[in-house]
Structure 1
Amino acid sequence: MTSPFKRQILADGALEETASLLQQTLVNLVDLALLLKQAHWNVIGKNFRSVHLQLDDIIVTVRDGSDEVAERLAALGKSADGRSCTVASSSSLAKYPDGFQDVPSTVTAVADAMQTTIQGLRDATEKLGDLDPVSEDLVIGISGPLEKHFWMVQAQEA
């Protein structure tokens, strides 16, 4: 569907590339939030409670970020697609393991997923700088808090 709006913020070429980068960012963030919830429900073992609670804190940050990206797409006149079928077919994240996972396995899988998401955010930031500085700023704003969570997760592997 074409934009329902009469006016565009960006020129057509920049708009399409920006929307594509934001859509991939959205998909990865939605998938990360789902993965984190799966990890939250299924972590077991020593230090379970602290990891269990930490994952919920990260989920709030990730969901807020995905909402901001989806709303930026809408502001640009593009429909955000966070449907489960789109996320499943387009996410850059590896599949999270089935069943209960001990704390070390959980921390490793979560850190890997966060690293993939952060790399996607950084790649998008680099490309958005020439296309749309507002979207670039948005993605940078999402990256900072997520990178702080990433540090705190992977510090548990040391």
Structure 2
Amino acid sequence: MKASKTLSTTLQSVLVDLIELNIQGKQAHWNVVGKNFRDLHLQLDEIVAAARVFADEVAERMRALHALPDGRSTTVAASTSLEQYPGGLVDTKDVAKLVVARLEGTVATMRTVHDEVDEEDPTTADILHAVIAKLEQFAWMVDAENLSPTANVTEPAAAKAGPGKTSAATAK
């Protein structure tokens, strides 16, 4: 099969966002500071590694369809849909928000083109499905950094009674 001009253009838009996600993820990784630094720093490495693999997979699929991927820095900078990542040191809370926005932006690009891709090449659409699922999982995990719990957990009755004592509930 040979990709149409539309499919080539569509996959190119996905490719540049994945490359940009990789680059911005590394920028975030190098410059994150604050509470839970180490956890987020390591999680960013996972995201960067996945984005790099996904970009390679999309580019290689493009070549399999006789399309020409363009991952040059000038092309990526000129055509990515992702906002520029800020320079300097960034607090973990802000990094989480920024990275989630980039993950969701990359997914949005894929969801926007999905039906068109699926119509021309279901195999390529399957690749997009897998990438979307993983990026949405990353977004959920990073977003959890800034969420507040909603459960009202109380101490179990046995714990309230203390060691060697029984509560009314455990004495029965």
Give the TM-score normalised by the residue count of structure 1. 0.90
Shift of 1:126: 2.0
Q: Which of 39, 52, 61 is matched with 2:50 structurally?
A: 61
What's the RMSD between the two structures over aligned residues? 1.0
Instruction: Confirm or deny that 1:31 pairs with 2:20.
Output: yes
Letter matched to residue 66 of structure 1: A
Shift of 1:34: 0.2
Unaligned runs of 5+ in 2: 148-172
Say which is worse superposed, 127-136 or 27-36, in terms of deviation.
127-136
Larger radius of gyration: 2
Query: Aligned equivalents of 2:123 and 2:46: distance in 1?
Result: 26
Q: Which of 28, 40, 45 is matched with 1:51 structurally?
A: 40
Query: Aligned equivalents of 1:43 and 1:149: distance in 2?
Result: 17
Residue 11 of structure 2 corresponds to: 22
Residue 116 of structure 1 corresponds to: 105
In the alignment, is the contact (CA less than 8 A) between 1:124 and 1:139 conserved in 2? no
Shift of 1:139: 0.9
Shift of 1:26: 0.2
Does the residue aligned with 1:78 lie in a helix, a strand or coil?
coil
Q: Identity percentage over the alignment?
A: 41
Residue 144 of structure 2 corresponds to: 155
Q: Which of 83, 107, 110 is matched with 2:72 structurally?
A: 83
Query: Aligned equivalents of 2:108 and 2:144: distance in 1?
Result: 18
